[in-house]
Amino acid sequence: MPRLALVANWFLLGCSVAAEPDWVVARQRMVADQLAGRDITNQQVLQVMRTVPRHELVPDSQQRQSYKDRPLPIGHGQTISQPYIVAFMTQALNPQTNDVVLEIGTGSGYQAAVLAGLVKQVYTIEIVEPLARRAEADLKRLSFTNVQVRAGDGYKGWPAAAPFDAIIVTCAPDHVPKPLVDQLKDGGRMIIPVGPTGDQSLYLLRKEGGAVRQEAVLPVRFVPMTGTAEKPKP
């Protein structure tokens, strides 16, 4: 092979190798710039987000965008939140090691994976069955053994696994579903976006002595909750 061609081949090989993303570095930068650089201070949350491979839990076409400060499409008209919102909601729940947590809106499985590194058990429900099956397979492939995935209507919760120490909702109904409140332990916490598209707020709820206190903590934009949530409130 002529020397010029050999040099050219080595140059192309070098470019190909250099083009491969360094996912570990990307995660470290994400945590430093988007999370710790803002108002995420919970060290356990920061650490788990340094380790969960977000790029393994999005469609192949979105992998290079995985650690950017933006939501990502995951198919079927659904998206997953940017890393900051995942961290913010997780921190707001104040997850504890022995907690059993319910997630409504599995999506790609990323939020469930983050929680899995912080709590005892995660139950997660996704109304779009192909997304549920894909998330279940990806979480199993990545050895998140303390997550159970179910395809179904999240408005109704998961009565057989209740009560829950915490509930996180990643799609927006126009009111807080009563079944979820009923399935929350006394002393439990819920983080949920509520409101129509374009006018949503993230609410933190605390259940104490059977009563529920709620506080609006952040304006947000989530996909609407579908299924029972679309019916008029009784």
Tokens of 45: 């949350």
Residue type, 90: T
| Strand boundaries in the chain, DSSP class E | 72-75, 78-80, 100-104, 121-126, 147-151, 164-169, 184-194, 200-208, 211-220
| Domain interval for residue 93 | 3-230
Q: What is the pLDDT, as a whole number, of residue 7?
A: 45
Q: What is the CATH number of the domain that holds 33?
A: 3.40.50.150
How do 200-208 and 184-194 pair as beta strands? antiparallel
- Measured CA to CA in angstroms, residue 24 lies from 45, 72, 138 at distances of 16, 19, 19
Which residues are part of the catalytic machinery? 81
Q: What is the pLDDT, as a whole number, of residue 19?
A: 55
Query: Which stretches of the chain score pLDDT less than 50?
Result: 3, 5-8, 10-12, 14-18
Residue type, 62: Q
Burial of 218 (0-12, 13-18, 19+ CB in 10 A): middle
The rounded radius of gyration (Å) of the Cα atoms in the chain is: 20
For 209-218, what is each residue's pLDDT tens digit? 989 999 999 9
The verdict on pTM exceeding 0.85 is yes
Count of domains forming the chain: 1
